[in-house]
Amino acid sequence: MNNGQKGVSDSLETHSNGLIYASNNEENAINVFDPSNETTLTFLQFCESTGWVDTSKR
């Protein structure tokens, strides 16, 4: 299996349904990889006004 390049990431998480979630620092997003069909999609993308959950916007 060749999963290609996913870019810079500082975290991965797996789900019981087999999906793999990866942070995508370059796109300010979270991507989801489905190994059953080898596709990667943007799961969630943040805009500058929203920020990440672990950061405070003042």
The 10s digit of each residue's pLDDT in 12-52 is 899 999 999 988 888 888 899 999 998 989 888 877 766 66
pTM of the predicted protein model? 0.69
Domain for residue 23, yes or no? yes
pLDDT at 57 exceeding the cut of 60: no
Whose tokens are 């943040």? That residue is 46
Residue 54 lies in a domain: no
Looking at the domain assignment, is residue 17 inside a domain? yes
The answer to whether position 50 is within a domain reads: no
The reported pLDDT for the residue numbered 47 is 73
Confidence of residue 3 (pLDDT cuts 50, 70, 90): low
Say how far apart CA 19 and CA 34 lie, in whole Å: 5
Domain assignment present for 33:
yes
